[in-house]
Amino acid sequence: MSQPYRSKTLQLGQQSIHTLVRPGQGHLTPLLICNGIGANLELLLPFIEALEPEVEVIAFDVPGVGGSSTPLTPYRFSGLARLVARLLDALGYEQVHALGVSWGGALAQQFAHDFPTRCRKLILAATAAGGPMLPGTPKVLWAMASRRRYNDPDYVMRVAPQVYGGSFRQHPEQALAFAAKARSGSKVGYYWQLFAGLGWTSLHWLHRLRQPTLVLAGDDDPLIPLLNMRLLAWRIPHTELQIIDDGHLFLITRAETVAPRVMAFLREERQPAVIHPRPAGA
């Protein structure tokens, strides 16, 4: 890693949360990253390393993943958003930019909605608005129903092209490097994450979000088809939509391309006022 990171496990009530902070060298608002389902924070390191050192970055493992403890009972995104606010309090951050990828995009939306003064800008990568989303194929969704792709190298090589798309179609061996950084969380923790998204949707309040928002979408994403990202960009005011030539994990596989776009958005002072037509089929 290019510079020292601060790793800390916080005790928030009965829940312990593993965190990682890359100190910043500038005056930008810190960037909080909410990761995907079953994904430990170490999987984000290629993207974090590609971000310029002036921005401070905060990553964490959600309950039941990586170095965080597994709660005894399930949770919803609203409860997890409150936990994130407590986490920021414990780390000493009043306001952050929030970036959510895939499942973590739902958490980022919920945090921006429930704690608007603490979320200055919102970045949504390869995610959706929940319930009314256009889903991937049944085969893709079935592969996502378990955490096996994080701890079975043969399995991840087999399913990566159909689940993640993009560069994994031509180079499925990339999935091995991805899986090698995974820390297997508990099976219960993974099911709690699935439960958090059951019946959840942001579609009815997206229009009330006032944060400048950057929506990043892969043009070959079998898990979150592109129409879902167009719907987010249409529903959220002050939104800029950018399409990446890759699949679901473009944040990692195209880190050197995506990171400069994120940095440019974080530096932008004015609110983007991009008007999007109603997406076909929405």
H-helix segments, the chain: 45-50, 77-91, 103-114, 138-144, 148-151, 153-164, 167-170, 174-180, 187-197, 226-235, 250-253, 255-267
Residue 59: closest CA among 82, 27, 91, 28: 91
Residue 79: closest CA among 190, 196, 163: 196
Interstrand relation of 57-60 and 96-101 (parallel, antiparallel or unpaired): unpaired
**Of the residues 2, 16, 69, 102, which is catalytic?**
102
Integer CA distances (angstroms), 104 to 36, 40, 170, in order: 5, 12, 26
Confirm if 152 and 180 have CB atoms less than 8 A apart: no
CB count within 10 Å of CB 14 equals 8
Residue 93: closest CA among 69, 119, 116: 119
Per DSSP, the three-state class of 241 is: strand
Confirm if 160 and 168 have CB atoms less than 8 A apart: yes
Distance of alpha carbon 129 from alpha carbon 203, whole angstroms? 6
Integer CA distances (angstroms), 57 to 6, 141, 201, in order: 10, 31, 27
Residue 184 annotated as catalytic: no
Output b/e per residue, 94-114; b: 16+ Cβ within 10 A.
eebbbbbbbbbbbbbbbbbbb
Distance of alpha carbon 258 from alpha carbon 39, whole angstroms? 19
- Catalytic positions are 102
